[in-house]
Amino acid sequence: MPGVTLREALELPTFRRAAPEVVAGAAGTGRAIRWVHATERPDVRQLLREGDLLLTMGTGLPGDDDAAGLVSFVDELADVGSAGVVVELGRRWGSALPDALVGACERHGVPLVVLARETRFAALAQEIGERVVDRQLAELREAQRVHETFTELSNELAGPVDVLRAVQRLADAPVVVENAQHRPLDYFAGPDEGDGFLDGWPARSRRVEVAGRTGWDPANGWLVTRLGTTDRSWGRLVIGSPEAPSQRLVAVAERAASALALHRLHDRDRGTLMRRTHLELLTGLGEEPGSDDVRRRCELAGFPVHRRGLTGVVVRGRVGAVPQVDLDEVAATVVRAAHALRLPALVSEVERDLRVLVSTSPGADADDLVDRLAARVLAHHDVVVAAGRTAPDRTGVARTVAEAGQVADAAPQARREQDPDVHRLADLHLRGLLALLGEDERVRLFVERELGPLQEHDRADGSRTDLLAALRALVLHPSSKTEAAASLHLSRAAFYDRLARIESILDADLDDPDVRVSLHVAVVADELFGGRAK
């Protein structure tokens, strides 16, 4: 809840009766007023503090012929960060203020208000002061509410989902937790479910840098808080905040970040021995597949690796799913399903993903077993299940696990009727190919070449048009431009106009099959890899 601003104060009854007019520094009227002082002293540096509003009749200020003195007076106001200066006409100046005073306030962005009618400064200061105190008390009550909310969550040992629900409730805004690679891990929508808050997320997030632990990005309207330490940051918490955030919202973000970090620490410490052991074994197989020690430890854990097929599987909660999945519960379901199928499996959690490695005997249909495992899990949880190709021995463990992660990244987030239970490279077609290429620099250069002009146009054009969205709609609805236009809630005429602008900017014919395919590939690559060309 922001403090009382000068813009709000100008609407108060006492102010309105004095016929106020902002004659300079109008852009600064949104600043919060800390307190109100009335004085005729020209040396205000020692009197005022940041956010103070000055009331004066001007009788003690330098004369009209002392432009330097008036400028020096405004310089002091700007130096202390004054919320503005209010001058009552009549005692010193009749109908207008000196140009030097007005000009200096405009240069510094210090709001300058003239009162055409006489008023009691004491009444004006009291009315504004009461509003300031009321707002401060309200902020204290809200701060207490924030404190009590997170104290209760701490006492209840609440998990990340509960913490994020509390943030959503307190902020009344969308909330996202992303990992260090800018991939959203959890998302709770704001009041407007169709706000498109996650659209183009990785690309937008990579461009956002804030100084310190918490900062506000006005371009996206994000309040961003680092998760973890400066040296070991594991992600960020993002809260939608189109306007500059209040201290209360900053407190919510930082208390939530602390709660998430504490839960992460506790979760690591209190995790079951099985999950910790499985992660160590999976890491060992990936880094030292030929190690006899790792092989013996796997056998002791009931996970045979000698002459066995090994298949990597990634299980991931869908971003934006309601309700959010509890990864602990999903892990328990995976373990139960593997046990029921008599399928040896290592189950571990890494960055809000479940990484699973299953072991199958020679001649067994590994894909069928993974499908049956996934079916049991999907019966209870709305998750994405992705599998890598089965490795014939331990040397392929790192590849199959990495491939499963790439497939999970490429798989559509929204579940569709035609989707298989388990996503594999063969099912993803173009997305699968691009997932295999992964970080290839040539893919980035291709996206930059194909889409760069449109991205530059959209950034320069702001929110008036989104030509990249129009192109995406076109390639995703190749058989019907009417459906493409409808997906953007545009008329056919407006959609055709955007297509014409795209052709002009790219100097390309969108009806040319080669052009259409090339742009389609670039759009999908941009979505998968976060627009690194930007």
Strand order in 353-360's β-sheet?
345-350, 353-360, 309-317, 383-387
* Alpha-carbon Rg for the chain in angstroms: 31
Residue 369 has a pLDDT of 96
What is the C-alpha to C-alpha distance for residues 492 and 171, in angstroms, rounded to an integer? 38
What number of CA atoms fall less than 13 Å from residue 32's CA on the CB side?
A: 14
Q: Using one digit for the tens of pLDDT, what is the confidence trace for 297-334?
A: 888 778 999 999 999 999 998 876 656 677 888 888 89
The enclosing H or E element of 45 equals: none
* pLDDT at 390 exceeding the cut of 90: yes
Q: Using one digit for the tens of pLDDT, what is the confidence trace for 479-523?
A: 888 888 888 888 888 888 888 988 888 888 888 888 888 888 888
Q: Using one digit for the tens of pLDDT, what is the confidence trace for 204-213?
A: 898 898 888 8
Return the CATH architecture of domain 157-269: 2-Layer Sandwich (3.30)
Q: Are 128 and 113 in contact (CB under 8 A)?
A: no
Give me the percent of the chain exceeding a pLDDT of 90: 21
Return the CATH architecture of domain 273-424: 2-Layer Sandwich (3.30)
Average pLDDT, stretch 105-110? 91
Residue 533 has a pLDDT of 38
pTM of the model: 0.47
Average pLDDT, stretch 438-466? 79
Residue 191 has a pLDDT of 78
Q: Does domain 6-132 have CATH number 3.40.50.150?
A: no
**Domain boundaries defined on the chain:** 6-132, 157-269, 273-424, 441-529
- What would the 3-class secondary structure string for 349-415 be? EECCEEEEEEEECCCCCHHHHHHHHHHHHHCCCCEEEEECCCECCHHHHHHHHHHHHHHHHHCCCCC
Q: Which residue has the higher pLDDT, 497 or 149?
A: 497
Which of the four pLDDT bands, split at 50, 70 and 90, describes residue 352?
confident
Q: Using one digit for the tens of pLDDT, what is the confidence trace for 114-137?
A: 988 888 888 888 888 888 887 777
For 244-344, list the strands marked E by DSSP.
Answer: 309-317
Q: Which residue has the higher pLDDT, 306 or 154?
A: 306
135-149, 371-385, 448-462: which has the minimum mean pLDDT?
135-149
Residue 86 has a pLDDT of 92
Average pLDDT, stretch 55-65? 86
Which of the four pLDDT bands, split at 50, 70 and 90, describes residue 85?
very high
Which is it for the CA torsion 513, 519, 525, 528, positive or negative?
Answer: negative
